[in-house]
Amino acid sequence: MTVRIQLGAPIWDGHKNPKFGIAEYRMVAEQLEVEVLYRSKGTGGKPFPHIYRISRTKALTYPVQVRCGVRLRIIPVKDFDVYYQEVPCGGI
C-alpha cells in the first residue's frame, strides 16, 4: 500500500542540502510518496516538481526532530527515489 503526503515546503539547509520533514503519524503505509507544493516566490516555479518515494522502513531510520509537538523524520531530498518526473509541456 502507498500513501501520498503533500508538503507545503521543504526544510532549507543553506539551499545545498534541502530536506523533507515527514510526520511519523502520516507514515501509515510501507511506501510513502511525497509531493512538495512549494513554489518559488521569484519565478513561480516548483523547485521540487517531482513525486518522491521512500519506504517507511527506510524513512524510520532518519533522525527525529520535534516541531510544534509533532515528531518529524528529517530526510535529505537526495535520499528519495524520483517516482514521477514532471515534464514541462511545450506549446503546439
4 in Cβ contact with 33 (< 8 Å): yes
List, for residues 37-55, the tens digit of each pLDDT value.
999 888 988 889 999 999 9
pLDDT of residue 86: 66
Average pLDDT over residues 8-27: 90
- Closest by CA position to 10, among listed 88, 74, 87, 84: 74
Rg (alpha carbons) of the chain, rounded to whole number: 14
pLDDT exceeds 70 at position 65: yes
List b or e across 45-66, with b for residues whose CB sees 16 or more CB atoms inside 10 angstroms: eeebebbbbbebeebeebeeee
What the block records as the C-alpha cell of 87 is 515534464
**pTM for the structure as a whole:** 0.84
